[in-house]
Amino acid sequence: MAKLFDFLKKPYPFNDDLKQNTKLIFFISIVLLLLLFLFQPFDLKALNKKDKYLLIGGIIIVTFIGLSINLLLVPAYLSKTNSFKNWIVLKEILWNIWILFTLATGYFIYFRIIGTFSFSFYILLKVLIISAIPISILIPYNRNRLLRKHLQSALELNKYLEDKAHPSPKIVHLKSDYEKDDLSVDVNALLFIRSANNYIEVFWQEKNGIRSQLVRCTLKHAEDVFKDYPFIFKCHRAFIVNINHVKKVEGKSQGYTLYVGGDEYTVTVSRNYIPQFKELFYKL
């Protein structure tokens, strides 16, 4: 039992990819429409054409609206508050059950309004319990699949690190909103940059160790400054990393953790940036 609770507390990547979720909503709605017409559950065959279309249309509309709220509006709003930053397996299971509950409740209300089909609260509860079983299986399976995939990929990246070439050094200038905070840094010595509210914090390597400085500007400005250097890569909404200084890659269910300039400093590569990161990593 203790192992089960430990597993439920494992990190899990929350899906806040709005573009992907939009495609998923349309896909589910279309598949559901086809299934309703092909298999005609809820005794649809016994209904006249008008009631049949009213029932099917309502189910599709409720599904589309419910999924749009839960997969687009809620993630778009809460991701700004970092509510999904510490997402775990248990939260993902409960989140999916919540989505099913909102959809089933929508069906329940709609069926009551049109009065065509009897959909009791007992049926609603039964649907949730039955649906929770595959959800509880698929989510841990997906987490382990992602973990194995990223671990294997991380091993390949680590192997490639041994022979990776380094570009010749050049000086770049980061202009601050305050002139006294301007920073000139050797692009090849740059380790990474992270966002820090209205500032960015720049880390670079020197002979006597790693140094850092706050510069009052946006991460977007820094990205523009280094746009001519393909090995300087924005890998997260809050990080820019010098791929040439990555010492180790660790695979996690959420994506990668990069160790830069030693074990003390880590940089996150979010799932959305992994394909581009790998492409650049092998190319440089």
The verdict on 273 and 186 lying in the same domain is yes
The verdict on 123 and 178 lying in the same domain is no
Residues 38-50 have a mean pLDDT of 68
Q: How confident is the model at residue 142 (pLDDT cuts 50, 70, 90)?
A: low
Which of 21-25, 81-85, 149-153, 275-279 is the least confident region?
A: 81-85
The verdict on 148 and 178 lying in the same domain is no
The verdict on 22 and 137 lying in the same domain is yes
The verdict on 138 and 171 lying in the same domain is no
The verdict on 98 and 215 lying in the same domain is no
The verdict on 116 and 36 lying in the same domain is yes
In this predicted structure, the answer to whether residue 167 has a pLDDT above a threshold of 60 is no
Residues 68-90 have a mean pLDDT of 80
In this predicted structure, the answer to whether residue 139 has a pLDDT above a threshold of 80 is no
User: What pLDDT score does 19 carry?
Assistant: 83
User: What pLDDT score does 260 carry?
Assistant: 92
Radius of gyration of the chain (CA): 25
CA distances from 234 to 183, 221, 231 (A): 19, 12, 10
Q: What is the number of structural domains in the chain?
A: 2
In this predicted structure, the answer to whether residue 186 has a pLDDT above a threshold of 60 is yes
> Given 126, 158, 190, which residue is the final one in a domain?
158
> Given 131, 158, 185, which residue is the final one in a domain?
158
User: What pLDDT score does 106 carry?
Assistant: 85
The Cα 184–Cα 223 span in angstroms is: 15
The verdict on 203 and 117 lying in the same domain is no
Q: How confident is the model at residue 169 (pLDDT cuts 50, 70, 90)?
A: low
The verdict on 154 and 170 lying in the same domain is no
The verdict on 152 and 170 lying in the same domain is no
Residues 6 or more apart whose CB falls under 8 angstroms from that of 192 comprise 203, 239, 240, 241, 242, 245, 260, 265, 267
CATH number, domain with residue 274: 2.40.50.1020
The verdict on 47 and 175 lying in the same domain is no
> Given 111, 134, 158, which residue is the final one in a domain?
158
Biggest CA–CA distance in the chain, Å, is: 82
The verdict on 112 and 178 lying in the same domain is no
For the stretch 97-135, pLDDT in tens is 888 888 888 888 887 887 766 666 666 666 566 556 655
- Nearest alpha-carbon partner for 257 in 274, 237, 276: 274
The Cα 280–Cα 269 span in angstroms is: 13
**Structural domain range at position 149:** 2-158
